[in-house]
């Protein structure tokens, strides 16, 4: 079975960026991706998504076809698709990471490299910088599970999928 890695970015519609909508997207994606043997990471920065999908070429391209027709976002831009022998995001069938909700020290690591004029973390324009951001985010997600200050429900911080 030949594996591939696909990266795209898109702009979310306004109703998608609520915490409940994001949790719903992740819950459905975790189950569907597990059935299809797909792994990956979905990041949101403001209203911009960037997602990496890994798995069998047929399943990944079929999923991307569904993504293209999903009305929860628009301006879908294919960044990269390539064959691979290794999954970089194998820990998760889907991990959803809202960059605006990262705790201070985690946010600072990413903002030091990709901070925009408005103070938010921007999705870079070129594929190599996007890969760097994805790898930094993967490292931050795998390094320590964080909690909200005061023991609040951490669901609004980082929404973890399988893995």
Task: Identify the band that residue 33 occupies on the pLDDT scale cut at 50, 70 and 90.
Answer: very high
CB 108 within 8 A of CB 36: no
Task: Identify the band that residue 55 occupies on the pLDDT scale cut at 50, 70 and 90.
Answer: very high
**pLDDT confidence of residue 118:** 65
**pLDDT confidence of residue 18:** 76
Q: Which residue intervals of 12-151 are DSSP H helices? A: 19-36, 57-68, 104-114, 127-143
Q: Rounded distance, CA 129 to CA 1, Å?
A: 29
Average pLDDT, stretch 119-144?
A: 82
What is the per-residue pLDDT across 72-91, written as a single tens digit (0 to 9) for each?
A: 898 999 999 999 999 999 99
What is the per-residue pLDDT across 91-116, written as a single tens digit (0 to 9) for each?
A: 999 998 888 878 778 887 787 776 66
């Amino acid at each position: 079975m030949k594996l591939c890695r696909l990266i795209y970015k898109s702009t979310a519609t306004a109703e998608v960026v609520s915490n409940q909508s994001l949790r719903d997207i992740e819950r459905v994606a975790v189950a569907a991706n597990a059935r299809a043997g797909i792994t990956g990471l979905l990041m949101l920065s403001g209203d911009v998504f960037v997602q990496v999908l890994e798995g069998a070429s047929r399943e990944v391209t079929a999923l991307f076809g569904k993504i293209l027709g999903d009305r929860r976002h628009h301006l879908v831009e294919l960044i990269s698709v390539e064959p691979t022998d290794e999954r970089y995001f194998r820990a998760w069938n889907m991990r959803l990471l809202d960059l605006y909700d990262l705790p201070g020290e985690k946010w600072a690591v990413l903002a030091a490299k990709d901070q925009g004029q408005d103070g938010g973390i921007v999705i870079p324009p070129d594929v190599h910088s996007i890969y760097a951001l994805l790898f930094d985010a993967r490292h931050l997600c795998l390094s320590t599970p964080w909690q909200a200050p005061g023991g609040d429900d951490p669901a609004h911080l980082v929404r973890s999928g399988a893995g």
